[in-house]
Amino acid sequence: MEQILTLIHENLQLIYVLILAVFVGIEVMGKVPQVLHTPLMSGSNALSGVVIIGSILVMGKTDPENYVALVFGFLAVVLATLNVVGGFAVTDRMLDMFRKKKK
């Protein structure tokens, strides 16, 4: 628990930036028209793929005793993977709307 509190105290400005980025992202994405949703989802999938690779690389170089970093790395991999899978599912479903229906 002390490691987590130390990590938060040392990175307080970065946490503020992260929280601000979350709120700005929610506001920006909420205002996007549905026509642009598929291209933005494809871009999000590409970014999440980079996050997965980066998280795996960082976890590989992390000290095995540093449980906080390992837990955050694992969460980054899991959440980015969920984003990629969900993004492909949504993109595929939206593209199905434009395919000709078989008789």
- Per-residue pLDDT tens for 34-92? 767 666 766 777 778 888 898 898 888 888 898 888 998 899 999 989 988 887 887 77
Is there a single domain that holds both residue 18 and residue 38? no
Q: What is the pLDDT of residue 49?
A: 84
User: In terms of pLDDT, which residue wins out, 96 or 63?
Assistant: 63
Q: What is the pLDDT of residue 75?
A: 92
Decide if pLDDT at 16 tops 80: yes
Is there a single domain that holds both residue 81 and residue 100? yes
Burial class (CB in 10 A: 0-12, 13-18, 19+), 58: middle
Give me the number of domains the chain comprises. 2
Q: What is the pLDDT of residue 38?
A: 65
Dist CA 92 CA 38 (whole Å): 9
Q: What is the pLDDT of residue 100?
A: 78
Is there a single domain that holds both residue 69 and residue 39? yes
Q: Is 100 helix (H, G, I), strand (E, B) or coil?
A: coil
Is there a single domain that holds both residue 81 and residue 50? yes
Model pTM score: 0.58
Is there a single domain that holds both residue 17 and residue 44? no
**The domain containing residue 23 runs over which residues?**
1-31
Is there a single domain that holds both residue 60 and residue 95? yes
Is there a single domain that holds both residue 62 and residue 91? yes
Is there a single domain that holds both residue 40 and residue 81? yes
